[in-house]
Structure 1
Amino acid sequence: MKPDESLNVLGGTLTPCSFEPLTGFFRDGHCNTCTADRGSHTVCAVMTGEFLAFSKYVGNDLSTPHPEVGFAGLKPGDTWCLCAARFLQAHDEGCAPRAHLDATHVRALEVVPLTVLVDCAAD
């Protein structure tokens, strides 16, 4: 698998999202993606307690540690490459986390309108 070109939603070079915890489809700290990334893990988001509770409620528990796969669990303040559809779903439910636009891959725009990302911008 080779990542798509590393461009952000602003048209610039994709910046890192998080190395601690290590995130991204390729676990390279960036929200890089490719055709194999069916979840489009492209939105660099800052976790909140509200979003983590929502994500767990809809079936994707990001806060519980799973040491057997090297996942410590996320906590408020962590940044993470979220699935674009989950981000949009959270936005529609009123609990979207903030997004780092410079670290959000341009392919997120296939799912999330730029206006939504700008409204949720952390930068």
Structure 2
Amino acid sequence: MTAKNVIGGALALCSTSPLTGWKRDGCCSTDDSDNGRHVVCAVMTAEFLDFSAGQGNDLSTPRPEYDFAGLRPGDRWCLCAARWEEARIAGFAPDVVLDATHAKALETTALGHLQAHAITD
């Protein structure tokens, strides 16, 4: 069964550089072990990265022990849907790629919110 995106199509690739996704396959796919639901394909901004660090999740600092180079503005990354929604409410939501955002994101945020921050490839 092919994973679906928030607009009803097949889930598209989010990023391979940096390699993202719960399964580190470049897609924002999910499974029952993904408690954070890393399903929103977002384009990082300095403002969001600062916001996330302030929430205790520093995504900018390299962590070589996890083979993680750190994220920079412009990178695409599969975010936890709840963190994206927190950032939206706080005014720091990064843009999203709808065709690469898993349908499970709609359990946490409304399609209209995602569409308001949508970019096209």
TM-score (normalised: structure 1): 0.96
Q: CA deviation at 1:102?
A: 0.2
Superposed displacement of residue 30, structure 1: 0.1
Distance across 1 between alignment mates of 2:15 and 2:84: 17
1:101 maps to 98
CA, structure 1 residues 33+79, in 2 after alignment: closer, same or farther (shift >3 Å)?
same
Letter in 2 for 1:98: D
- CA RMSD in angstroms, aligned pairs only: 0.9
1:118 aligns to 2:115 (yes or no)? yes
Q: Can you list the C-alpha shifts for 1:30-61, whole angstroms capped at 9, x where unaligned?
A: 00001111000000000000000000001000
2:109 and 2:96 mapped to 1: Cα distance?
12
Where in structure 1 are there 5+ consecutive unaligned residues?
none
CA distance in 2 between counterparts of 1:37 and 1:5 reads 18
**Structure 2: where are the runs of 5+ without partners?**
none
Cα distance in structure 1, aligned partners of 2:52 and 2:2: 29
Match of 1:11 among 8, 11, 16: 8
What is residue 41 of structure 2 aligned with on the other side?
A: 44
Give the paired residue count: 120
After the TM superposition, list the runs of 4 or more consecutive aligned residues in structure 1 that deviate by more than 3 angstroms: none
- Mapping of 1:18-97 within 5 angstroms? 18-97=15-94
2:13–2:27 contact (8 Å) kept in structure 1: yes
Are 2:2 and 2:10, in contact at CA under 8 Å, matched by a contact in 1? no
How much does 1:5 deviate? 4.2
Task: Name the aligned partner's letter for residue 115 of structure 1.
Answer: G
Deviation at 1:80, TM superposition (A): 0.1
Question: What amino acid maps onto 2:50 in structure 1?
Answer: A
TM-score, normalising length from structure 2?
Answer: 0.97
